[in-house]
Amino acid sequence: MSEGNRFARGVAINWLAFGFSSCVAFFLSPFVVHHLGNVAYGVWTLVISLISYMGLLDLGLRGAVVRYVSRLKAQDDHRSVNRTVSAALWLRFWISLIAILIGLILAHYTPEYFHVPAELQSPARLAITVAATSFGAALLGGVFGGILAALHRFDLLGAVAMSQTTVRALGVVWLLREGHGIIALACWEFIVILTVNLVLVLLAFRNYPQLEIVLQKPAEEILNAIWGFSAYVFIIQVCVQLMYYTDNLVVGACVSAASVTFYSIGGTLIEYIRQLTSSLVTMFLPLASKLEAEGQRQKLQYLLIKGTNAALAAALPVEVALLFRGPTFIRLWMGSQYATESGRVLMILLLGHILSVTTHTSANRTDQRKFTDGHLRPDMGQPSF
């Protein structure tokens, strides 16, 4: 298959996976909100927002794995690929342990700081602990997801993502219908995450037979090479986290847990638009790394320009429609009680997001929010790391 056909297939599969995931989440969101209630859903959203900050602990490693594996494989340097992947996995192992430790600390202090109601404080602590453990497991599996992305196997990543979405959603519906709460949602997500990441490990070894993992402290030159690229990705991740994922915590700390629900409904629609453009540009990093390794600078410039045009074409029609009819859409989607407040939140967030769409291709969303490297989603009751 030619490079152009492979890239086009990757775009199509990414959009298919995005469309499927978004449709499931869209129809599941009202179900989750109404079964948990405003307060419990707000608490769950706070748990999600806290754990999403742990994504910064990745330090840009996934982006580095995608870049260097795609680049080194294009040069048939399998030995360096193995050294790079082993180093990233070794680093993520220790980061995972740190994440679980931080989760235990957050579980102890968070409920009181965010004024969580007394009856939900114990469930919130346990949910944070389980979610942090899920995040640690997802960090390890994310290395192998990065390998598949570097190999342009977006067909496999898309299939895994859609399977994960289906199994997760079925579990969430059953648990909430049976009257379970946020603890059960967190435990179910842990099971799904663990299973999915085992599948990613198997797929990575199957599609890259030369892959060999040695878990030991990597050489200093390998660490320097990884950090030389991941540092830039880390800076982007910090900025993205501050811009897009601080709001729920501020609302919870300054207003109330119930208010987080009204705010997050408007914010969820903005997240869908970000995922729409991310599903388009996520395969640009391995392709750009390959073009760089081959010295094709002109094609790199062409990729940036066309990618920005495509991101604008995909996002702007949706943003304009929501700008004029956002509150009406929320009324039909979630119910009339959310239309006014959540609609105002949506209008404000849209204005900022419209200006940021042009940066999506250059930033390339190399944070951990694609497929199995992602973030907690309150509508689905899960982290998708």
251-284: pLDDT as tens digits = 877 777 778 888 888 888 887 787 777 766 666 6
CB atoms within 10 A of CB 27: 12
Q: pLDDT > 70: what percent of the chain?
A: 83
* 274 or 209, higher pLDDT: 209
* 279 or 209, higher pLDDT: 209
| Structure tokens belonging to residue 257 | 């847990």
CB atoms within 10 A of CB 179: 8
111 neighbors 121 (Cβ within 8 angstroms): yes
Predicted local confidence at residue 314, as pLDDT = 77
96-132: pLDDT as tens digits = 999 899 999 988 888 878 878 888 889 999 999 999 9
314 neighbors 276 (Cβ within 8 angstroms): yes
Predicted local confidence at residue 6, as pLDDT = 62
Mean pLDDT, rounded, of the chain: 79
What radius of gyration, in Å, describes the C-alpha atoms of the chain?
20
Predicted local confidence at residue 243, as pLDDT = 67
Would the pLDDT of 382 be above 60? no
User: For residues 60 and 219, what is the distance between their CA atoms, to the nearest angstrom?
Assistant: 19
User: Would you place residue 4 in the very low, low, confident or very high pLDDT band (cuts 50, 70, 90)?
Assistant: low
257 neighbors 116 (Cβ within 8 angstroms): yes
User: Would you place residue 367 in the very low, low, confident or very high pLDDT band (cuts 50, 70, 90)?
Assistant: very low
**How large is the average pLDDT for residues 138-158?**
85
**How large is the average pLDDT for residues 321-345?**
87
241 closest CA partner among 365, 89, 100: 365
> Which region holds residue 18: left if phi is over 0, alpha if psi is between -120 and 50, else beta?
alpha
**How large is the average pLDDT for residues 76-105?**
88
Q: pLDDT > 90: what percent of the chain?
A: 14
> Which region holds residue 215: left if phi is over 0, alpha if psi is between -120 and 50, else beta?
beta
Predicted local confidence at residue 347, as pLDDT = 87
User: Would you place residue 70 in the very low, low, confident or very high pLDDT band (cuts 50, 70, 90)?
Assistant: confident
Would the pLDDT of 303 be above 80? no
Taken as a whole, the chain contains a residue count of 385
CB atoms within 10 A of CB 213: 14
User: For residues 77 and 98, what is the distance between their CA atoms, to the nearest angstrom?
Assistant: 32
Helix (H) or strand (E) holding 245: none
User: For residues 212 and 89, what is the distance between their CA atoms, to the nearest angstrom?
Assistant: 12
User: Would you place residue 244 in the very low, low, confident or very high pLDDT band (cuts 50, 70, 90)?
Assistant: low
Q: Please tell me what DSSP assigns to residue 376.
A: E
User: Would you place residue 167 in the very low, low, confident or very high pLDDT band (cuts 50, 70, 90)?
Assistant: very high
Whether the CA torsion 81, 83, 86, 91 is positive or negative: it is negative
254 Cβ contact list (under 8 Å, min separation 6): none
CB atoms within 10 A of CB 25: 22
User: Would you place residue 221 in the very low, low, confident or very high pLDDT band (cuts 50, 70, 90)?
Assistant: confident
Predicted local confidence at residue 378, as pLDDT = 46
* 58 or 175, higher pLDDT: 175
312 Cβ contact list (under 8 Å, min separation 6): 357, 358
Range list of H helices, the chain: 3-53, 61-74, 78-113, 118-150, 154-177, 182-207, 220-244, 247-254, 257-281, 284-293, 297-334, 339-356, 360-363
User: Would you place residue 185 in the very low, low, confident or very high pLDDT band (cuts 50, 70, 90)?
Assistant: very high
The β-bridge partners of 205 are: none
**Residue 208 phi, psi (nearest 5):** -135, 80
Predicted local confidence at residue 286, as pLDDT = 65
Predicted local confidence at residue 11, as pLDDT = 65
Predicted local confidence at residue 174, as pLDDT = 95
User: For residues 134 and 130, what is the distance between their CA atoms, to the nearest angstrom?
Assistant: 6
